[in-house]
């Protein structure tokens, strides 16, 4: 016993009262926290509460499906047995009728009804949005240092997922028809020369109206990409992760060249990720993956450690919405609504941006985004004079440089992403006019 009634043991265990006890986070947590564009954007924009956001990838607020959701809820509530089933835990893989509906819809959309729908639904996992599927699949495939090849530019949130896993993203050149197959092969050949082919685990592609450019992979290239993945699976399987988040948001015609998944006749290469977030409601948080048989067990084990299954109630609700026909009616209405918003953005761009020489864009056939290329040398970065000026004019955007992987194709700092998803037609008009004022100032000699 020491003076004051303390013994040696207690003294050793108690931290010094002055020294703060630090959390010891994992390496993964440190990787997760690094370089979040969303946090940086929030920090820059919070001081300007009246801004028109042309940045947030949210969906249109006014057309969120209030009545269809009420109807589906009422139908469930009218049947206490159904309600009890929905309020209970479900299974990790997901509610069977919803998985069957997802599989049947995929086969119909791809025009491959001859495939075995029951077998496909057995490989269909329901997740909390498609982001969860992208994360889980990547987590099962990637060790730190492993490589994913992706289009340049690509979905910046997925770049964050890869960073969180300690994986390397390599950007592959892409043009108006999506990722360029020849460029992809060149990267694979380079990886082989450098002794890194075994580290290439996946190719990530957004097939329809990608985020950030609104570009779709052309029909010819779809089969070519799957073929490349199979041919280069020399030192272990290279998967294609197909992100179909915007498939339902097509505004011109109804031609659909079919998914990459449909090009994978053996079903061993393509991981197909889909979501009801853009086509119905992101708040319901239901996405899915149709995965090769080899990956089903590992992904379900990983998912089981996280949540024992996607919220069962929401899965029942979503199934009822599809069963009643409300889902198809809603997506038809949404396409009309976004077509009008796209027109508003394109006409605002024509009116305000076209006169600014050197600003270029391509009309997106669907999705929620317009990608701008500025004159060479004019940076759109968060710390650029242009971004500051846009804030003071009353708007902001996603700087395009965040959509490029750290390796591969160089970052283009003279690019930016606008969205017509959440702003009204009137806000789109005012936001683009504000951006044009900022650009004119930034371009002024």
Who's near 113: CB < 8 A, 6+ residues apart? Answer: 107
Exactly one of 164, 206, 259, 429 binds ligand PLP (CB under 6 A); that residue is 206
Report which residue's Cβ sits closest to ligand PLP. Answer: 129
CB of 307 to ligand PLP, least distance (A): 14
Length of the chain in terms of residues written: 445
CA–CA distance from 273 to each of 6, 288, 409 (Å)? 61, 6, 25
Mark the segment that binds ligand PLP (CB under 6 A) among 76-84, 103-111, 219-227, 274-282: 274-282
Q: Is 131 in the site for ligand PLP (CB under 6 A)?
A: yes
**Upper half-sphere CA count for residue 387 (Cβ side, 13 Å):** 21
Determine contact, residues 366/208, Cβ cutoff 8 Å. Answer: yes
Q: What is the DSSP string of 99-128?
A: HHHHHHHHHHHHT-TTS-HHHHHHTEEEES
- Give, as ranges, the residues between 32 and 61 that touch ligand PLP (CB under 6 A): 57
CA 203 to chain centre: 15
- Give, as ranges, the residues between 345 and 364 that touch ligand PLP (CB under 6 A): none
Determine contact, residues 140/298, Cβ cutoff 8 Å. Answer: yes
Which CB sits closer to ligand PLP, 157 or 343? 157
CB of 276 to ligand PLP, least distance (A): 8
CB of 155 to ligand PLP, least distance (A): 4
Exactly one of 129, 181, 408, 421 binds ligand PLP (CB under 6 A); that residue is 129
Mark the segment that binds ligand PLP (CB under 6 A) among 35-43, 129-137, 247-255, 416-424: 129-137
Give helix 326-348 / helix 425-443 axis angle, nearest 10°: 30
Q: Is 312 in the site for ligand PLP (CB under 6 A)?
A: no
Q: Is 130 in the site for ligand PLP (CB under 6 A)?
A: yes
Q: Is 243 in the site for ligand PLP (CB under 6 A)?
A: yes
CB of 145 to ligand PLP, least distance (A): 24
Report the alpha-carbon distance of residue 307 to residue 176 in Å, rounded.
39
DSSP at 200: E
Report the alpha-carbon distance of residue 334 to residue 396 in Å, rounded.
25
- Give, as ranges, the residues between 64 and 123 that touch ligand PLP (CB under 6 A): none
Which CB sits closer to ligand PLP, 282 or 375? 282
Mark the segment that binds ligand PLP (CB under 6 A) among 16-24, 60-68, 128-136, 411-419: 128-136
Exactly one of 214, 287, 292, 431 binds ligand PLP (CB under 6 A); that residue is 287
Residue spans of alpha helices (H) in 64-218? 66-77, 80-87, 96-110, 117-122, 129-141, 156-164, 181-193
Question: Under the rule (CB under 6 A), what is the footprint of ligand PLP?
Answer: 57, 129-131, 155, 206, 211, 243, 245, 275, 277, 282, 287
């Amino acid at each position: 016993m020491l003076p004051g009634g303390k013994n040696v043991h207690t003294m050793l265990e108690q931290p010094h009262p002055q020294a703060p006890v630090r959390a010891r986070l994992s390496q993964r947590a440190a990787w997760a926290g690094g370089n979040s564009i969303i946090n940086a954007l929030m920090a820059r924009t919070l001081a300007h509460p009246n801004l028109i956001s042309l940045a947030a990838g949210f969906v249109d607020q006014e057309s969120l499906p209030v009545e269809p959701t009420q109807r589906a809820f009422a139908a469930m509530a009218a049947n206490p047995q159904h309600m009890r089933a929905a309020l209970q835990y479900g299974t990790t893989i997901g509610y069977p009728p919803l998985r069957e509906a997802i599989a049947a819809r995929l086969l119909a959309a791809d025009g491959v009804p001859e495939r075995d729908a029951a077998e496909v639904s057995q490989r269909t996992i329901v997740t909390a949005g498609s982001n969860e599927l992208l994360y889980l699949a990547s987590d099962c495939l990637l060790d730190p240092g492993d490589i994913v090849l992706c289009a340049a530019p690509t979905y910046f949130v997925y770049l964050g997922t890869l960073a969180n896993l300690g994986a390397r993203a390599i950007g592959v050149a892409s043009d108006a028809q999506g990722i360029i197959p020849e460029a992809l092969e060149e990267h694979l050949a380079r990886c082989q020369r450098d002794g890194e082919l075994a580290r290439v685990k996946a190719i990530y592609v957004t097939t329809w109206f990608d985020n950030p450019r609104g570009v779709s992979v052309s029909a010819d290239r779809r089969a070519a990409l799957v073929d490349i993945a199979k041919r280069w699976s020399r030192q272990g399987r290279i998967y294609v992760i197909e992100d179909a988040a915007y498939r339902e948001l097509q505004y011109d015609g109804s031609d659909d060249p079919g998914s990459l998944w449909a090009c994978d006749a053996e079903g061993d290469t393509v991981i197909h990720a889909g979501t009801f977030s853009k086509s119905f409601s992101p708040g319901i948080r239901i996405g899915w993956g149709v995965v090769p048989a080899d990956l089903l067990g590992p992904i379900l084990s990983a998912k089981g450690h996280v949540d024992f299954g996607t919220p069962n109630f929401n899965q029942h609700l979503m199934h009822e919405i599809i069963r009643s026909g409300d889902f198809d009616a809603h997506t038809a209405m949404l396409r009309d609504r976004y077509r009008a918003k796209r027109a508003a953005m394109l006409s605002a761009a024509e009116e305000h941006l076209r006169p600014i020489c050197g600003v270029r864009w391509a009309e997106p056939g669907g999705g929620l985004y317009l990608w701008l290329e500025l004159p060479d040398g004019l940076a759109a970065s968060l710390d650029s004079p242009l971004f500051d000026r846009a804030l003071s004019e009353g708007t902001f955007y996603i700087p395009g440089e965040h959509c490029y992987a750290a390796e591969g194709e160089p970052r283009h700092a003279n690019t930016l992403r606008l969205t017509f998803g959440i702003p009204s037609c009137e806000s789109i008009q005012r936001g683009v006019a504000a951006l044009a004022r900022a650009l004119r100032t930034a371009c002024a000699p």
